A and B are shown apart, each in its own frame.
Chain A
Amino acid sequence: MRNAFADEMTRLCAGNQKPVLLSGDIGNRLFDKLKEAAPDQFLNCGVAEANMIGVAAGLAMSGYRPFAYTIVPFITTRVLEQIRVDLCYHNVPATVVGVGGGLSYAALGPTHHALEDLALLRVLPNMSVLCPGDALEVRACLKAAMRHDGPLYIRLGKKGEPVVHQSEPVISIGGSLTLRKGSDCTILAVGNLLPEAMKAADLLAERKIDAGVVSLVSVKPLDGEMLTRSFASSKLLISLEEHSVAGGAGSAILEWISDHDPSAMTKFMRIATPDAFYTQSGKQSYARQQLGLDAVSVARKIADRLG
């Protein structure tokens, strides 16, 4: 996703002076092409994220389209108040881009894990939250950001994730993408767990369970039409996210159920990380297995629930 982000930003900047990429001193060489194509539209803001968000606000107030980019915890929890006041209160078209969503940087330890960002960002007024599920969704999200008139958070994974889509989809803020229809259940996959959801659906098919998969690209606002449709046609909806069970996309859907369709409560289950720091060393794939977020665990949990 990271490489797609850099490449798409380069394309957006070529021939359009409005987008400006601000980096918190990461992405060594990642943005070389952008710097070459549009040298004025890249700024290394240093390891100074509070200032970077303020700079983004000032640029956006002046008609530019800033994208402020660094690792999730440093561009979200660390500068939450800057995002709240400078971007959301002013309601300016600035995009906060976090790399390393969920446990992408599992090996780096809890300082670099991103399991609370969706909870914190989605409660901010005026803020929209997008979680692309593969490299093609990343490109589409950036295009959506250029069309959007308010603050936006885009949560990336890292690099080298499987590409799920055949071609670049069109993403709207408040929309979702249906990748596979299923009559028994539908997995609402958030961001970088989309490939695991697809694998889980395959595993469920082996057990004669017909599982659909939706990429829940827009965590805020939610795609209410899709939820209404899915609850009407599925026996079970499952939110799947590499994020704490407290406050994430699953919680957002519970709020939606409470407000729109309380009877749907029995048809919904959440799969997320526990409300705890994950303190073991090791890779993302290992962490997912430990926390029950890998395709095998996901398929088993869903099959158990469906009986």
Chain B
Amino acid sequence: MDLTHIRQIARELRGTVIELTHEAKPAHLASALSCIDILAVLYWSVLRIDPAKPLAEDRDRFILSKGHAALALYSVLAKRGFCSDETLRTFNNNGGKLAEHPGPQCIPGVEAATGSLGHGLPIGNGLALAARLAGRDNRTFVLLSDGECNEGSVWEAAMFAGKQKLDNLCAIVDFNKWQATGRSQEILALDPLPEKWQAFGWETVRLDGHDLGVLHAALTELPRRSGKPLAIIADTVKGKGVSFMEDDNNWHYRVPTREETDAAKRELGLVH
């Protein structure tokens, strides 16, 4: 597996997300940056997908349950060939298809409409169950935010997957330690997060959500021998990749200026 290649892709994706945030002025830049490495590993080394056949029955499914990071997903899908760069640049424009939260099949590759938190995992349960009923070996990956784990429906879904032993299902929590207005571990009793998933019947792995090799190893090994659904608690940094954005929750809503955008891209090695 060529980690160097994926590392470069992740850098470029960060640049795209920052540039488009500057241009189109959506919120949630830092939330998009924290999950870029997870998306890069999934889309360039894990998911069995084909941009030429976006609706192939046996494709792996990915749901961005933290729909507010849509710009990260759109950037990934454009770079992976599901839509053109031209389409990507219509993000947040009047009359376009790419809203700040993804609509159903707004572009090929978007499996589910998200934006209201707590919906992705229940739908993922249905997709995983359907694969099992049909005897297909495709897998379903759902990316949640740590703040999203406030939603009761996440835990309803966790109990269901645990009971049904959906070993073709993987939930990844982008554990960047922040939600909209504060520390996710302080707003509700989130801790102990991995143990919670484990207690709900999931095989649970905690890892560094920016370590591409570790992510690749964990994500490729599905289904697990335990026969349980897999929860990956990925420790991440909100705003990852840009020193003046990292772990600063103001960037949950802030839009970078031209100067900040250029500084960020210089730091990422995208401009000199």
Contact = CB atoms under 8 A, between A and B. Distances in A.
A170 B127 CA distance: 33
B170 to A, nearest CB: 14
Interface string B149-177: 00011001101100110000000000000
B146 to A, nearest CB: 19
A45 B126 contact: no
A77 to B, nearest CB: 15
B129 interface: yes
Contact of B157 (A51, A59, A85, A90): A51
Contacts of A48: 156-157, 159-160
Given A40-B133, A48-B160, A58 B113 contact: no
A58 B129 contact: yes
A251 to B, nearest CB: 27
A135 to B, nearest CB: 29
B64 interface: no
B122 A89 contact: no
B70 interface: no
A50 to B, nearest CB: 4
Contact size class for A? 20 to 34
Contact of B160 (A45, A57, A66): A45
Nearest to B151: A50
Contact of B119 (A20, A56, A86): A86
A64 interface: yes
B152 A50 contact: yes
B126 A50 contact: no
B123 interface: yes
Contacts, number: 97
Given A20-B133, A64-B130, A90-B113, A58 B156 contact: no
Interface string B121-138: 111111111110110000
Q: Is the interface of A mostly helix, strand, loop or mixed?
A: helix
A63 interface: yes
Contacts of B129: 43, 55, 58-59
B53 to A, nearest CB: 16
A63 B133 CA distance: 11
Interface residues of B, number: 30
B130 A54 contact: no
A92 to B, nearest CB: 9
A90 B106 CA distance: 11
Contacts of A91: 104
A2 B119 CA distance: 29
Nearest to B157: A51
Interface in B83-130: 103-104, 111-113, 116, 118-119, 121-130
A58 B159 contact: no
Contacts of A20: 133
A93 to B, nearest CB: 13
A58 B119 contact: no
A139 B49 CA distance: 41
A51 B130 contact: no
Contacts of A58: 122-130
A53 B118 CA distance: 12
Nearest to B105: A90
Interface string A117-152: 000000000000000000000000000000000000
25 contacts: A20-B133, A43-B164, A46-B163, A48-B156, A50-B118, A50-B122, A50-B153, A51-B156, A51-B157, A51-B159, A53-B122, A54-B122, A54-B124, A54-B157, A55-B160, A57-B112, A57-B123, A58-B129, A61-B130, A62-B130, A63-B130, A64-B130, A89-B103, A90-B104, A90-B113
